[in-house]
Structure formats: structure tokens, C-alpha cells
Amino acid sequence: MAKKSISANRNMGQILRWLVLFGGGVLMVMPIAYMISTSLKWPHEVYNVNLIPVEPTLDNYMFVLEDGRFYMWFINSGIIAVLTTISNLLFDSLVGYTLCKFKFPGRTIVFIAILSTLMIPTEMLVIPWYLMSQSFGWLDSYWGIMFPGLMTGFGTFLMKQFFETVPDDFIEAARIDGLNELQIWWTVALPLVKPALAALAIFVFLGNWTAFLWPLIVTNSTEMYTIPVGLSGFGDEADVAWELIMTGAAISTIPTLIVFLIFQRFIIRGVVMAGLKG
Amino acid sequence: MSIYRNLTIKQKQIVWAWTFLAVPVVFYSVIRFYPTGTAILISFQDWNLLGARTWTGFDNYIKLWNDPVFWKVFRNTFAYLLIGTPVSLVLSFVIAYHLDKVRFMHGFMRMLYFLPFMTSAVAMAWVWRWFYQAVPIGLFNNVLASFGIAQIEFLNSTTNALPAVLAPAVWAGLGFQVIIFMAGIRAIPTSYYEAARIDGVGWWVVLTQITLPLLRPTIVFIVVFSSIGFLRIFDHVFNMTTNNPGGPLNATKPLVLMIYDTAFNSFNMGYAAAQTVVLFTILMCVSLIQLRLLRSS
């Protein structure tokens, strides 16, 4: 009898824990939910605190997309995020692989040098980068937005850690089979660290999609803005209503949310890997 | 090609390694190290981007020391750090600790907490800025009004603005920390818990004698990671106060926003560079403390 009431208590505790956590979780997604709900509301309904729009409409999306600018910023951000991701995957993995699997003079110095870049904050570099971009004519161009992030010390370090799990025997065997070093990296080593590549791809893509400070500095024409820079200026226009700002915010956020919902497990595992390794 | 063929295997490895590293080494030298030197150099100069660069020695640093705005900004930056880090640490641990024990709809619950981490700071700053508006616009004040509670000035108040800007920053980073904590909790061998259960030890002792000590590396990582994040706070602050960057009387202005203003609105490059060197020094100290803490564990 006593045993039964303990387990009943435990069940009550479990249910209570679940309910409190669920309530907290709902609060966590509330801002995102309100952003989407408001983007679907008619102007007269915006200041109603109801989460569910009475008469949902895609009018705001039509308006914002017909304006043309969001479409442009979206494309800019997409191109920049994809290209920097590809560059990081190639170079970070190549450098990480070289530092892990080759014995050569200068290896330690290169590794320490790359690792030490993790300590240099971007904020310190934006002024020199700006001067550099100015003298080379990179201001207001895709290249200007992208060049600082083409490789990262974080990515190199992450990849090096993962190449350490690839047995040297595999690489030796490939050498005996007559593959050259570039082929070994590409066909033997890279496929073995696919989870790490996926984690790195997610981080770099998300980081560049949401990057704000450097794109804000290096761009100055509306056509070259990335989506965060564009959204920031769009919100500031005096005649813009909140439902349109929420629509813009939703346009910049929904793609990453969709990617997350599809690759959820993968992304969470990637976060854990990067967090514990990095 | 024939020269390459005559090399020993060891020499070939060296050739390959430096071939692979050639472009990255140039990249890191030109895009990371050279600019670091430039920033330090400019911090000793007076330059408005158009005119001549003149050497001024430590003038920029002396000016910074005597600038009341800098000290206000310095206090703000550390307020973000000293409120933000402990709050997000405790919240994320409590959430992770309980979330770990939930079985029913575990994946869904985890998703709810993680979702904000996938949003962009700029978009969410605008969402929260809308929440903070006065009636009839802002959500928070509308809710308060419906309960007949007095309105709260969020962003236009010198006392409320900083916490109001900090809240979305904490909110956005929480999911990441929860996931890292959950991974840390999972990594603790169950045999410790089984031994504790056999000994009939209460949950509080288990928590303080087993779970927390074994989570030390995770806690150190999260503290340093979020400290660096709060010291570099910019996107949230800038976007929530664009009409008046830095809030009323600089109430919310962090160091990075001051750097941005000095360099790209006032074009005072030398002064801005000196501010970046200060930020660099602070971040460096945080990283060194991290290394020390991790080594001693």
C-alpha cells in the first residue's frame, strides 16, 4: 500500500515536471509564433493579442515580396552563405587533414597559429578589413562580404579532431594502392568524417545567413544588402507597419526553421559534437 | 616532375603538406594576422579615414580612459556579462536536468527549447522590439492592460532598457546551452547513479556530489562561451534601438556598438581601433582563464 502511494506520487511528480517543462517550451517558441501569426494578420488585427489570426492572409507576404528588395536580399544571403559554406568545408577539412595526417617541419607552428586566430575577435579586424576592401575595390560586393569568412580556425580545429578518429592504416592502404595525396583526402578520408562535415556545414551556413556586423559595414547599396542588413534598415523606415516588419523577419527566419525541422536530429548532434570538441 | 620522383617518401609528404597549406597560410596571414597588427598600429594614430594618419602615441588610450561614455559602455558591457551569464547558466541547467528525465514526447520538448537558437538575432530583435512597445502596439503592455496593470516603459527607460535588450539575447542562446548540458549529463556513467541509489542517497546529494562535479568541464565551456557572447553583444542592441542607438543616455550601449559608432559614423579610426584593442584584451583574459580552469580539472 505504501509502495503504491510512492509510485503514484512519483507519477504525479513526472506529470507535473512534464507540464512545467511544456509550459516553458511554449513560452520559448512564443516570439517565433507571434512573428509568424502577425505576418499572417490584416493590419486592423495586428494589435489583437490573439495568437491565431481570425482571417489569415498572405497579403503581407505579397506586399513585401512585390517590393522586390526582400527577394534580392534573400538571394544575396543565400549565395553568400552557400559559397562560404563550400569554401569552409573544402579548406577547413584540407587543413585539418594535413595537420593531422602529415609529418612535416612547421606543423606545430601552423597549428598553433591557426588555433590562435580563435582569440582574435572579428570586431578588432573590421576596421583593417574595411580599409583593405576600400583599397582593393571590394566594398559593396559579394567578395567583400565573403572574404573574411572563407576559412575559420574553429572549422579547422573541429575537422582535425575528427580526422584523428580515421585510422592511419586506411590512408597507408590507399597510398599502396597508388592514390595520390589529393585523391586520398577526397575519396578515402572525407567520406569517413561526413557527420563532422555536416555539423560544420550547418554552423557555417547559419553563421553567415545571420551575420550582421561585417555585412552592415561592407555594404552600402540596397542591392548588396544581406537579409539581416536589409531587414534592419527596412524596420527603420518610418512608414513601415509592424505586420510588414514581422513578415520580413519571418522571411529571414522561416528557411532556417524549415531546415531545422527536417534535419533536427542531425543538427542537435552537430551542436553537441561541436560544443564538446570545440 | 622528375625531381619529385627522386624525392624520398618523407620529402614527398613535406611537398604535399605545404602544397595543401599554401593557400590557407596566405589567407590566415593576410586576413587574420596582418589586420591584427594593423588594428594595433592604428590605435596609436589619429586618422579620420580621409586625412593624413598622424602618430599620437597613447593619446587614444588616454582619451578613452578619460571618456565618461567609455566607462558607461564598459559598465553596460559587464552588466550584460554579469547578469546574462549566470541567468542563462542556471536556467539552462535546470531545464536540461529536468528535460533529461522526461520520456514522453522527449524530442518534441527538446525542439521547443532549441528552436530559438535557429533564429537570426536581427529578426528576433525586431520581434521583441514590437513586444516592448507601448499600448496599443506592444504585446506585453497590451497583456498588462487587459489585466488592468500599469504600463511599463521597456526600451525608453534608463533602468529597464538594458534588461529588456538582454532578455532576447539570453532567450536566443538558451537552447544551445540546454543541448550542451544534456549531452554532458548523458555522458555521466549510470553506474555512479546506481551506486548512489543502492546507498539510498537523496537526489540533492546526488546532484551536488555526482552530477555537478562531473559536469565541471561542461560548465566551464558554457560559462566561457556565453561570456564571450555577452561581451560581444551587438546585433540585439543595435536593432532594438536603431532610432536612438545605444538606448536613452547610452543606457544599453555595449562596447561593440561604441566601436561601430566611432569608426563608421564619426570616422575616428584611431580611437575606434583603441577600443577594439581593449575588447581584444578583455576577451583574451577570458580565454586564458578558461585554459587555466580546464587544465586544473
Q: What is the pLDDT of residues A10-42, one digit of tens each?
A: 788 888 999 999 999 999 999 999 999 999 998
Q: Provide ipTM, 2 decimals.
A: 0.90
Interatomic CA distance for residues B107 and B114, integer angstroms: 10
B295 touches chain A (CB under 8 A): no
* Percent with pLDDT over 90 in chain A: 58
Q: What average pLDDT does the structure give for chain A?
A: 89
Asked if A125's CB is within 8 angstroms of B39's CB, the reply is yes
Which chain A positions have a beta carbon within 8 Å of B127's beta carbon? 31-32, 34-35, 246, 249
Q: Do A110 and B264 touch (CB under 8 A)?
A: no
Å between B295 CA and nearest CA of chain A: 15
Host H or E run for residue B69: helix B68-99
Q: Are A124 and B279 in contact (CB under 8 A)?
A: yes
Q: What is the pTM assigned to this prediction?
A: 0.90
Q: Which residues of B touch A182 (CB under 8 A)?
A: 16
C-alpha cell, B161: 532598457
**A43 half-sphere exposure, CB direction, 13 A CA radius:** 6
**CB distance A21–B36 less than 8 Å?**
no
pLDDT per residue, tens digit, chain B (297 aa), is 567 777 787 888 888 889 999 999 999 999 999 999 999 999 999 888 888 888 888 999 999 999 999 999 999 999 999 999 999 999 999 999 999 988 888 889 999 999 999 999 999 999 999 999 888 888 888 888 888 888 888 888 888 899 999 999 999 999 999 999 999 998 888 888 888 888 888 888 888 888 999 998 889 889 988 999 999 999 999 999 877 777 788 889 999 999 999 999 999 999 999 999 999 999 999 888 877 877 765
- Note whether A271 contacts B176, CB cutoff 8 Å: yes
Q: Could you give the CA distance from residue A177 to residue A181 in angstroms, rounded to a whole number?
A: 12
Amino acid in position A29: V
Using CB atoms and an 8 Å cut-off, which of residues 167-196 of chain B contact chain A?
A: 168, 171, 174-176, 179-180, 183-184
With an 8 Å Cβ cutoff, are A124 and B39 in contact? yes
Categorize the per-residue pLDDT at A267 as very low, low, confident or very high, splitting at 50, 70 and 90.
confident
- The length of chain B is 297
Q: Which three cell numbers stand for residue A40?
A: 499572417
Contacts of B28 in chain A (CB under 8 A): 113-114, 117, 151, 153
Angle, alpha carbons B241-B245-B249 (nearest 5°):
100
| Probe site for chain B from A6, A21, A159 (most B CB atoms < 10 A) | A21
- Taking the Cβ of residue B97 and every Cβ of chain A, the question of whether any pair is shorter than 8 Å is answered with no
Segment among A90-99, A242-251, B245-254 with least mean pLDDT: B245-254
Contacts of A121-124 with CB under 8 Å at 24 or more apart are A121/B232, A121/B276, A121/B279, A121/B280, A121/B283, A122/A148, A122/A213, A122/A214, A123/A213, A123/B232, A123/B234, A123/B256, A123/B259, A123/B276, A123/B279, A124/B35, A124/B36, A124/B39, A124/B276, A124/B277, A124/B279, A124/B280
Range with lowest mean pLDDT among A87-101, A151-165, B90-104, B234-248: B234-248
Bigger pLDDT: A2 vs B105: B105
Does residue A193 contact residue A178 with C-beta atoms inside 8 Å?
Answer: no
pLDDT score, position A3: 55
* Rounded alpha-carbon distances, angstroms, from residue A178 to A88, A172, A174, A182, A183: 28, 10, 7, 12, 10
Reference B113, options A250, A31, A24; nearest CA is A24
**Predicted local confidence at residue B297, as pLDDT:** 55
Q: What is the predicted pLDDT for the residue at A278? A: 44
pLDDT of residue B199: 87
pLDDT the model gives residue A6: 66
Q: Is B116 exposed, middle or buried (0-12, 13-18, 19+ CB in 10 A)?
A: buried
Q: Which residues contact B68 (CB under 8 A, 6 or more apart)?
A: none
pLDDT of B152 reads: 85
Q: What is the pLDDT of residues A33-76, one digit of tens each?
A: 999 999 999 888 888 888 888 888 898 999 988 888 999 999 99
Q: Which of A49, A231, A272 comes nearest B139 by C-beta?
A: A49
Average pLDDT over residues A157-183: 89
Do the Cβ atoms of B115 and A32 come within 8 Å? yes
Contact status of B277 with chain A (Cβ, < 8 Å): yes
Rounded CA separation A45/A60 (Å): 13
User: B195 Cβ partners below 8 Å, 6+ apart?
Assistant: none
Distance from CA of A174 to the nearest CA of B (A): 14
Residues of A in contact with B277 (CB under 8 A): 124
| φ and ψ of A89, to 5 deg | -60, -45
Neighbouring C-beta atoms of residue A12, cutoff 10 Å: 10
Instruction: List residues bridging with B55 in a β-sheet.
Output: B45
